[in-house]
């Protein structure tokens, strides 16, 4: 297993653990309602694993970042509970902030620490290929 594969495997294992925990809670505790965003998170996780198995590391790294970004802002839910948004009140004015999932943000931070150099390399390769097409 290469270094790049290990760097992407760590966030994938964290996501898988959160998803397993989420669905175990949903199946054992019937008071929580399972939402479409939970199933969407599970369905979109499958292509990430497929890309890792087929050794399409570049796509898997990019899609994992997008997946975690969606999970951070609760568009995908990878935890049993859905965090509601925060707000700031200044005088009589209330400013609503977007909902934020702290656990998903933690996995996103870990992902960025492990794969930041790979993302920069992908971006520079993209810029170079566009430059060669023009010139």
pLDDT of residue 34: 64
Domain span including residue 80: 3-134
The packing angle between helices 3-28 and 36-53, to 10°, is 150
Condensed to tens digits (0 to 9), the pLDDT of residues 66-115 reads: 999 999 988 888 888 777 677 788 888 888 877 888 899 999 999 999 99
Q: Which is nearest to 71 in space by CA: 48, 115, 40? A: 40
Q: What percent of the chain has pLDDT over 90?
A: 53
Number of domains in the chain: 1
Give residue 23's pLDDT: 87
pLDDT for 30 equals 62
Confidence of residue 31 (pLDDT cuts 50, 70, 90): low
Q: Which alpha helices (H) appear in the chain, and where do they start and end?
A: 3-28, 36-53, 57-72, 102-134
Give me the mean pLDDT over the 40-67 stretch: 93
């Amino acid at each position: 297993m290469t270094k790049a594969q290990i760097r992407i495997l760590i966030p994938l294992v964290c996501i898988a653990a959160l998803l397993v925990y989420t669905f175990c809670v949903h199946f054992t505790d019937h008071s929580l309602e399972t939402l479409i965003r939970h199933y969407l998170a599970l369905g979109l996780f499958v292509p990430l694993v497929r890309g890792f198995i087929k050794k399409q590391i570049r796509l898997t790294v990019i899609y994992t970042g997008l997946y975690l970004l969606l999970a951070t802002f609760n568009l995908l839910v990878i935890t049993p509970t859905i965090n509601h948004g925060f707000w700031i009140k200044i005088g009589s004015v209330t400013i609503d902030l977007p909902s934020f999932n702290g656990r998903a943000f933690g996995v996103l931070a870990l992902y960025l620490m492990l794969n930041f150099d790979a993302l920069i390399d992908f971006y520079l390769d993209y810029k170079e290929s566009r430059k060669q097409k023009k010139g």
